[in-house]
Every structure is written in structure tokens, then in C-alpha cells.
Amino acid sequence: MPGSHRGTAADELAEVFARSDEDVPTRVAIRKGLIIARDYPTRTCTVRIDGVTDIPNVPFLHHYFPVVNDIVALQRWGTSLLVIGALNRTEWINYTPGWAANAGTPSLGDGTFLGRYHREGPDVHFRIQLTIGSTTTFGTPGNAWSFGLPVQPHASMQHACAGHCYDSSAGAIFSANWEIRAGNTALFAGWGHNSTGTAIVVGNGQPFAPGAGDQYFVSGTYEAGV
């Protein structure tokens, strides 16, 4: 059974439940809350109730991996809480990746840059799709690109993931590898090959000169650090 909360937060929690379920048995009383912080090693999180009361060190069930801003169902145990699951979790969450280069600064212009991710505990699954527009700029010629990740990777783990680049004017597809460096929130262009088999990194002019309609895709899984 989860341990009792003490102090002002516990008093406020008891009062919150007393207002809503005086005639409901203690172990089946259910309320909603908002996750505002979580700690995977201790399997606890901080939950906000009624928009004002923050309850720390609330344990969560093993089948649920909390993410900040989840709206969750809470079960009461005396003056303690247990998070039993999310009420608003979607399978995949949208995010906007950052875009940088090791020389010059790319600008999306009228292009589109889409990111989606799904988290299962420490594992983060992600997808990125960059479509070049007519006003997109690419940084200095010959540079290498990096894309932003949705969650910071673990500080001691390197990861590799795969992608491909589509040259719309030539109708050609080129494979490329990408590198997730330990603790770094960027996804770095790794080695790929151009049409002659020469090893290159993805960037402005590599594996082809980017233009409107060209697309870049990356997907993979990595271990989160937070």
C-alpha cells in the first residue's frame, strides 16, 4: 500500500476527497489529476489536483509510464494516492524538431517539418519528416545537418537509426544513417551513400542539392535520460 503523505499537501488532499466522496469506500474513490513531474527510478510522480494542490511522491502502477501533462486517474488509499492510468494519452504525440547545421543556419521557410513520438517508459520511438519548400534555405554548402529529438537521450548510451532522402527532381532515393549521441538532444547526420556509392553525410549538397519537394525521413528508438 502506498505510504501516507504528510503536511499541508496531505491535509489539502484529505479535504479535497472529503468534499467529493464522503460516502464512497476509501479504496474505490477515484479522482483526476495532472502529472507535472515524474521519476522513473523511484516510480513516483508529482500530481496536481484541482489545478492548485501539488501532491509529490505519488506511486504509479507498473503498466503505466507517466509523461508530464498527462491527465490521469487517481485511486485513493486513505490519505494517499495511486496513479492507475492516463485518461488523455494518445499513441503518438506531435512535436516540432529543431534543424541546425555545422555551418550556416537552415531556415524552413514554406517547407514542413513534422515530428511524432511515442514513449514506453525509458524507450522513445520517434519519426521525423522534412519536406523542402520553395523558400527553404539550407545553411552553408557542404555542411552536415542535425535534427532535434523529442526527449533527451540517456547520458551514457549511443544509438544509431536509419533514414532515407528522396530527390524529387530525379525520382531517386538514398539511404542514410543517423547518430544519437549520449545526452545530446540532437540527431546527427551519419554516413550514407550517394548515387555513385561514395560515402557522405546528409546536408546541403549531400547526397544531392536540396530543392522544393525533396524529402528527408528518419525513424528510430532510443533510451531516454529523463
The Cα 57–Cα 42 span in angstroms is 9
Which three cell numbers, joined as nine digits, stand for 106?
Answer: 537552415
- Answer whether 114's CB lies under 8 Å from 150's CB: no
226 residues of the chain, pLDDT tens digit each: 444 444 455 455 555 555 544 444 444 567 889 999 988 888 899 999 888 899 999 998 877 778 788 888 898 877 788 998 888 765 788 999 999 999 999 999 999 999 999 877 778 899 999 999 999 999 999 899 999 999 889 998 889 999 999 999 999 998 888 999 988 999 998 766 555 666 678 999 988 999 999 999 999 999 888 6
Task: For Cα atoms 97, 98, 99, give the angle at the middle one, nearest 5 degrees.
Answer: 120
Q: Do the beta carbons of residue 76 and residue 26 sit within 8 Å? A: yes
Position 63: which residue type? H
- Which pLDDT value is given to residue 14? 53
Residues 110 and 96: their CA atoms lie apart, in Å, by 15
Q: Where in the chain is the domain with CATH 2.40.50.230?
A: 8-86
CATH fold of 93-223 reads Adenovirus Type 5 Fiber Protein (Receptor Binding Domain) (2.60.90)
Domain(s) of CATH 2.60.90: residues in the chain: 93-223
Q: pLDDT, tens digit, for every residue of 82-131?
A: 998 888 765 788 999 999 999 999 999 999 999 999 877 778 899 999 99
Phi, psi of 34 (to 5 degrees): -120, 125
CATH number 2.40.50.230 is the correct assignment for the domain at 8-86 = yes
